[in-house]
Structure 1
Amino acid sequence: MASLTEAVAAPRRKLSRGERRLQLIEATIAVMADHGYARTTLGEVARRAGLSHGLANFHFESKEKLLAATLDHLSEEYRANWQAALAGASDHPADRIAALMASDFAPAICTPEKLAAWCSFWGEAQSRPMYQEHCGSNDQEYQDVLERLCDDLLSLGGYPGHAGRIARVLRVVTEGVWLDLMTMQAPYDREEAMATVWAAAAAFFPRHFGAEGRLSGP
């Protein structure tokens, strides 16, 4: 399968306005993976997409608008992914927590290019106001859902603990694993990343989670 970088550079048929904008957003993700937030330019994105600088400017007008659109795309893709995972899970809170956590490592979401783009948005001071404006509500929605599920499982399983703090730990562990996958010189693989997340879940819910994820049973 072609990489994201190869895909955006490939020859295209005549594209609609929406498809052309998506082509430039995909190129932006690839450029951010190579150069980071600050060194991403409209010109380099256009070159990576195989388009003229003028055409890129026509669709987005400025680097700031292109980066905002890219962040919106990543955020909505992430939200749609975890919501689809929940839609396919049973009503048991442990199954829903497992689906939510596993969704962060779905092949369409957990790619080197997209992880690098997320890290760029998180790590640059000048991008933080943009991040809060475009992603703050989605992040809060995710946290609220995970907290409610943790509260349900605490009650169902008779576990001690504070649902909000447990949900925060599970989220922070997942985000930390994402950073590991991006920044470690010899990163572990996806299976080990998932095992790390399951270990965190098992620390709070040992009758429902183990080293390989959701345990069978009630």
Structure 2
Amino acid sequence: MDQSAASTEAAQKPPRKLSRETRRQQLIDATIETIAVRGYARTTLTDVASQAGLSHGLVNFHFQSKEKLLSETLLFLAEEYRDNWTQALADAGPAPAHRLDAMLRADFNPSIYTQAKLSAWCAFWGEAQCRPLYQDHCGANDAAYQAAMEELCVELKAEGGYPYDPIRAARVLRVTTEGVWLDMMTVSTPYDQEEALGTVHACAAALFPKHFGPDGLIV
């Protein structure tokens, strides 16, 4: 083997030693993939180790228990979700319609809206035994999301003279988005990302027709 071929092969091999944080993230990613296939209750440390291509002992070293691993995985998902929508909101500018559109679109960001992550979220939502865990990690985030949505609906109501209760309008938008996520996990023929966002935009258009149409924001 010549030197250039050897260098290429060496570059393609994964590093033997990774930083602690990189290894933990690798295991969290593997947990998300495993939950998507096996569900919350049936996921084991052995399954996660196999998915990650690592030893069971290494999973134990980093997380000590299944409960700790699942807790850290949910915390990662919660922080990733909040960072995603808050950044989208910050980048959208001051107009309330543009900010609301950014929040709606954020739920379909390709880094968030993946089959594995949707499945993991649905598993955490649906497992009764993890409700306290969910509230601990996600309760404050959910409240912040709802408060931001309500604020935007209040501003749009004032700007457009809409007759709707802005608190209920915000709730309808939230449950529509969550319903589309659940649809992706339950319908026999899931629709694509563009149709999913279009469904949410149709809801926004029904509530705020001066600002949104069937294709989204009216510029």
Q: Same fold (TM over 0.5)?
A: yes
Match of 1:3? none
Q: Flag the 1:38–1:11 CA change in 2: closer, same or farther, 3 A.
A: farther
Q: Distance in 2 between matches of 1:29 and 1:11?
A: 24
* Structure 1 residue matching 2:154: 3-state secondary structure: helix
Which of 94, 105, 109 is equivalent to 1:106?
109
With the length of structure 2 as denominator, give the TM-score of the two structures.
0.93
Q: How many residues align?
A: 207
Question: Deviation string for 1:72-118 (max 9, x for gaps)?
Answer: 00010001110111111021101000000000000000000000000
Q: Which residue of 2 aligns with 1:12?
A: 14
Which segments of structure 1 move beyond 4 Å, counting only runs of 4 or more?
A: none
Superposed CA RMSD in Å reads 1.1
CA distance in 2, matches of 1:11, 1:95: 45
The answer for the alignment partner of 2:96 in structure 1 is: 93
2:186 to 180, 183, 186: 183
What residue is the counterpart of 2:7 in the other structure? none
Which residue of 121, 124, 127 maps to 2:127? Answer: 124
> Is structure 2 residue 27 aligned with structure 1 residue 24?
yes
- SS of residue matched to 1:65: helix
Cα offset for 1:53? 0.7
- Equivalent residue number for residue 157 of structure 1: 160
Percent identity (aligned): 60
Cα displacement (A) at 1:11:
6.0
Corresponding residue number in structure 2 for 1:72 = 75
When the two structures are superposed, what TM-score results if normalisation uses the length of structure 1?
A: 0.93
Residue aligned with 1:180, SS: helix
Structure 2, unaligned runs of 5 or more: 1-11
